[in-house]
Structure 1
Amino acid sequence: MTIGRLAELTGVPASAIRYWERHGLLPAPERHSGQRRYPAEAAGRIVLLRKCQQAGLTLAQIREFQEDQPRRAAMIRTKLAEIEQLRTDLDHAHQLLEHALRCSRQDIVTCPTFQAQMAGWRTTP
């Protein structure tokens, strides 16, 4: 398929596809009459690249993720720990904002319920 069709199928601009090729994240496609021609599985690789980006992986980490090398597992473990910490932080922010909507205190920091929440957050591993 052409780069235009691949872009259409994946919702990723052709410029991003070419960028990923230049940086070794997508294999170079065959060319027919000077046009790039992608196999069907290229769409799956692009979905993987987008998901990795959305998960916060850098281009270097995505490259490492795609390669079968010993550092890959360590990088994945590190990224999973970062994501778990982000989940915890987002959960705390969500709790704070939900409470702030219901709290009648002018200064939420003086609210005993909020103070109890904060104390619980400090003890969360």
Structure 2
Amino acid sequence: MRQLSIGELARQVGMRPSALRYYESIGLLPQATRDAGRRVYPAAAVRRIALIKMAQQAGFTLAEIRQLLDTTAERGATQQWRALAERKLPELDRFIQEAQLLRKAVADCLACGCMNFSSCHLLSTSSDHRS
């Protein structure tokens, strides 16, 4: 099995070695083996870090991600994932709704074309044009 030094892994996943050491210290990455005193990780660590990044982008905390990746709870892992995901979905829905409102506001400003923020009717407090 191919092994990656901490530097190689860091380059491949776009992170600093210190972040990888931190992930290891909090249990997100398994303990690295040592080769001539250097940390080495299995190539599968690249995929694990991709999963961690995806979960972070979805709004999961590092503690939640650690729970999801906990292999000691094999039997309950699927149920655990389901429970965490079900709790996260409403939060993601709110985030999407807020982002859509922000996008609409920016698009409305572009469509207005006045580019005069002090007198733009879209920014006026007397009439709210947002829907």
TM-score, structure 2 as length reference: 0.76
Query: Which runs of at least 4 in structure 1 moved beyond 6 Å after TM superposition?
Result: none
Q: Which of 66, 69, 74 is the aligned partner of 2:69?
A: 66
Q: Which runs of 5+ in 1 are unaligned?
A: 118-125
| CA root-mean-square deviation | 2.1
Q: Percent identity of the aligned residues?
A: 34
Q: Which of 37, 41, 44 is the aligned partner of 1:38?
A: 41
Q: Which runs of 5+ in 2 are unaligned?
A: 71-76
Q: Which of 96, 106, 110 is the aligned partner of 2:120?
A: 106
**Deviation digits for residues 35-77 of structure 1 (CA, Å, limit 9, x no counterpart):** 2111110111111112222222111111122231643311111
Q: Corresponding residue for 1:120? A: none
Equivalent residues, number:
115
Q: Which of 69, 92, 108 is the aligned partner of 2:101?
A: 92
TM-score, structure 1 as length reference: 0.79
Higher fraction of helix: 1
Indicate whether 1:81 and 2:90 are aligned: yes
